[in-house]
Each structure stands twice: as structure tokens, then as C-alpha cells.
Chains A and B, each alone.
Chain A
Amino acid sequence: MNTADQYLKTIYVVQDSEDGPASTGSIADSLGVSPASANEMIGKLEERGLAEHEKYKGVTLTDDGIVRARDALQTYCIIERFLANVLAVEDFQAEARELEAVIDDTVAERLDTIIDRQPECPDCFDPESDACACLEIAPEPVEPEQQ
């Protein structure tokens, strides 16, 4: 996932939790970057028609931005679920945050063929726990489906 996608995902989640435009400060805090860096990337997202920034109000994703943000959030959920359920990583959130920049969407799609993600993904994402609300932490029992 590239940096722009990480920003889109973050703006989407912040917008959702603030129930309105996402403030630059909250976006910068969530990404652990300076407000200046956040502003620079938000400007780029605006140029690409993915977000709109209104002074003193905050950032709102456009329809195209929302589509990409949801894809990015889905990729993040796949990485988390894969780490938690297949590799049994305890601190899967921290590792997913580290790995998301290096894992491409196409790679996540392949990993998706061996995990049991829910159809409502990524709407089940819970920002408080930084994880899917349906995620079971214990390894999944492996039972082949009836064909």
C-alpha cells in the first residue's frame, strides 16, 4: 500500500469517527507525522481529485477517494486477519501497521484466498481496537468446505 493510500484510509477512519471532515491535526496524529507533512500529502490528494480541504473545517474524501480508502482499509484488514489467524501473531495490529506500506493490494488479494473474511468488511473495522470487530483472535479451525 503506498503512502497516499495510507492517508486515504486514515482520513476515511477519522472522518467516520469525527462524523464530519477530518482535521489535519487528527490525521497527522493518527499517522505519526508532522502537520506540515500531512498538509503536503492532503494537497496532493486534492490535486488528484481524491479529497477536498476546507480551511478551518478539515478534509473530506471525494467519491473516488472513498472507493480507494475502502480498498486500502480492506487490504489492511486482510493483513491483520492473516497475521492473527494464519501466523498467530499476538500484536497483529502493530505488525500490520509496519507491514502495510510494503504489502501491495495484489499480494493481499492472494492472502485473502486463505483467510475467512466477513462479507461486511471493511465496514466492520473498529478504529478503537484498530482491528476488524469480527476478528477472532484464536486460530481458526481448518475444515474443508463441502464441494
Chain B
Amino acid sequence: MVAVSVSQRVASDDQLARLLQIGIVLEEVVEARTHRHYQQLDAELDEEVETLLADAAEESADHRERLESLVEGLGVDSVPFGEIESLVDARYGRTRPEDFDDVLYDQLCNEETAYKFYDDLIEAIEDSEATFSIDRGELLATLTTIRDEEAEGVREVTEVMERR
């Protein structure tokens, strides 16, 4: 077994870029899965859930674009949406929600996972003394905004779930 480094810091541009790419993929998964939920449950969706899913997809696309700008600044390619969409499609049969409640629960997992990801990433950047080739303040401000929007998303989905 090879030695691992037990550290929870972001140590380099390359590592930061990779983590941002993972963020992009997570957003793409949300967007693609949301579209699939629509197709699957179209007839059963009421206005409230439909709006929730539409807003979530739109927000993910917006987050993805912001992350893409950061990744570009690090000289790294984004991950094409079409590629992730195909992977979501390929495995959707095995991972799709069965009904309406499951869709909301899936959406809650999306928001919570994204929140946790950005929160950990912010902490790992703050704990690091590494110099990145993009502005640290701008990087943290962008990630904090996205994280806060995810927290808001968790709240919104929870409220809808509680009403039902």
C-alpha cells in the first residue's frame, strides 16, 4: 500500500482545479437528474414541485457557469455537460427515484450534498497557505455565495416536504 498524506487542506492549483471540476460534475448531475425526473413523473408533478425542480436546474446551471470561470482561470478544462448527462442517463435506471416523495428526497440529497461539498472545500482552502493563480478572495467569495444558495435550497425543499 502506498503512503497517503493525512491532510485536509487544498495544497496546489492542480488540486483546487480538480475539486472545482468535481463541483461542476455535482452540479451537472443535479441538472441532468432533474431533467430525468421531469420526464419520468411529468404527469404527476404539481406546480409546486415543478417550480422547485425548475429552479434547482436553473441554479445548478448558474453555479456550474461560475465554477467554470474559476476553472478557466486555473488553465484547466471544464467537464462537458453532455458527457455527464450521458453518464446520468446510463445509470438512471438503477438510481432513479420511484415516486414523487423520492423525487423530493433526491432533491434534498442534491442540495445537502452540494452544501457539504462547498462547505468542506471552503474550509480546506481557508486552512491552506498555498498561493493559487486565481484571486483567493474572489474564489472564497464565489464559493461562499454558492454554498449559501445551497443552504437556502435545503431549507426550501425541507419546507415543501414538511407541507406534504
Contacts and interface: CB of A to CB of B under 8 A. Distances in A.
Interface of A: 2-3, 6, 10, 13-14, 17, 29-33, 82, 86-87, 89, 93-95, 97-104, 106-107, 109-111, 113-116, 127, 130, 142-147
B112 A106 contact: yes
B134 interface: no
B18 A95 contact: yes
A106 B2 CA distance: 25
Contact of B25 (A111, A142, A145, A147): A111
Given A86-B87, A144-B90, A145-B94, A10 B1 contact: yes
Given A109-B113, A127-B1, A142 B90 contact: yes
Most chain A beta carbons < 10 A, residue from B19, B21, B87, B109: B87
B10 A145 contact: no
B124 interface: yes
Nearest to A130: B2
A32 B29 contact: no
- The B interface is mostly helix, strand or loop, or mixed, namely helix
6 contacts: A31-B4, A86-B84, A106-B113, A106-B116, A110-B110, A144-B86
B29 A114 contact: yes
A102 B6 contact: no
Contacts of A95: 18
B25 A102 contact: no
Nearest to B124: A102
B91 A106 contact: no
A31 B7 CA distance: 11
Given A107-B22, A110-B110, 6 more contacts: A13-B1, A82-B22, A86-B83, A98-B5, A113-B33, A113-B91
Given A86-B87, A114-B88, A144-B90, A29 B3 contact: yes
B18 A99 contact: yes
